[in-house]
Structure formats: structure tokens, C-alpha cells
């Protein structure tokens, strides 16, 4: 009965990059499009600057710098996977701007990468932004269209 009056926590994620939102179901990689690791959206970037979509802590940066994990104080886990199959580039074209265990605010720089190099190497720069612990999510409202890094909300999460 007490939970009836408890307001659920809402978290808004801002776009970590400038570009165009693509529904996760349309990402040309089944791991993401079939939501095997979680749900979210992807962005087709127009540049290579990546900022934090939330206030939180950097929990993971893959050695090849192609993916970053973040967690909010509420425990929401977010994966930014920069490009598709970009692990195969072994870090070429990626420049880390933060480190694991760093506390970040929305808009803080995380990474830079070269989308042109990614394409030249035969990979896609499409970047999924995924919630990996969907068991914490009661409701996920996704936005669409063009987004500017650090300004537009890409999705709103109501925690369960």
C-alpha cells in the first residue's frame, strides 16, 4: 500500500553524439536489433565526439576504446557501443577522454573517434546506446529524429 504513493524515478538520457536516431530494431547487428543485451536506440553520427548521456560513473572502457559502460546512482547501466564490429579495429581511430571509475555529468567528454576511418575500414559508425539491465526499467520512451550531442533527450526511463 505504501508503494502506491511512491513516485517512480525518471531518468532522461541526453544524446551522447550528434546525428540521427535509428530504432534499435533497425541496427544491422542482431545482438542489438534482437535486444540480446538490452534495449535502447542507436545513432548514426555526424561527427566523432561522444559525451556522457547521464550523471553517473564510468564502469567499463573496453581496451580497444570502442565501448563504454556507465552506471547512474540509481543503478541504471548504459552501454555506448561506438560503431558495429569496431572491436576489430583494435583501437585505431579511437581516443579515450576519461577513465574507469570517473564520475561524470551529462555532457562530459568520454571519447573521440574517427567515423570516416571506421567507414574506410569497412565498419559501420552506427552507435547503439543500450540499457543493459532492463529488469530495473518499468517504462522506456524513445525519441526519434536528429539529435545534437548533450542537448536532446534520446530516451526517458521510468525505473521500476
Catalytic-labelled residue, pool 66, 81, 123, 149: 81
Query: Cα(74)–Cα(137) distance, rounded to whole angstroms?
Result: 11
Which long-range contacts (C-beta less than 8 Å, at least 24 apart) are formed by 3-7?
A: none
Of 95, 122, 127, give the one whose Cα is nearest residue 111.
95
Q: Helix (H, G, I), strand (E, B), or coil: what is residue 13? A: strand
Q: What is the side-by-side strand order in the sheet with 49-51?
A: 49-51, 109-113, 94-96
Query: Cα(11)–Cα(77) distance, rounded to whole angstroms?
Result: 12
Count other Cβ atoms within 10 Å, centred on residue 16.
Answer: 29
> 66 an active-site residue?
no
Catalytic residues: 81
Amino acid at each position: 500500500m505504501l508503494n502506491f504513493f511512491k513516485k517512480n524515478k525518471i531518468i532522461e538520457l541526453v544524446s551522447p553524439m550528434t546525428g540521427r536516431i535509428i530504432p534499435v530494431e533497425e541496427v544491422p547487428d542482431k545482438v542489438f536489433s534482437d535486444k540480446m543485451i538490452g534495449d535502447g536506440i542507436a545513432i548514426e553520427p555526424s561527427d566523432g565526439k561522444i559525451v556522457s548521456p547521464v550523471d553517473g560513473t564510468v564502469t567499463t572502457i573496453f581496451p580497444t576504446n570502442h565501448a563504454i559502460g556507465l552506471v547512474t546512482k540509481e543503478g541504471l547501466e548504459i552501454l555506448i557501443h561506438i560503431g558495429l564490429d569496431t572491436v576489430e579495429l583494435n583501437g585505431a581511430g579511437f581516443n579515450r577522454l576519461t577513465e574507469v571509475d570517473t564520475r561524470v555529468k551529462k555532457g562530459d567528454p568520454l571519447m573521440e573517434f574517427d567515423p570516416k576511418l571506421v567507414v574506410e575500414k569497412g565498419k559501420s559508425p552506427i552507435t547503439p546506446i543500450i540499457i543493459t539491465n532492463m529488469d530495473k526499467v518499468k517504462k522506456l520512451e524513445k525519441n526519434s529524429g536528429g539529435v545534437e550531442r548533450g542537448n536532446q533527450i534520446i530516451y526517458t526511463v521510468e525505473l521500476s
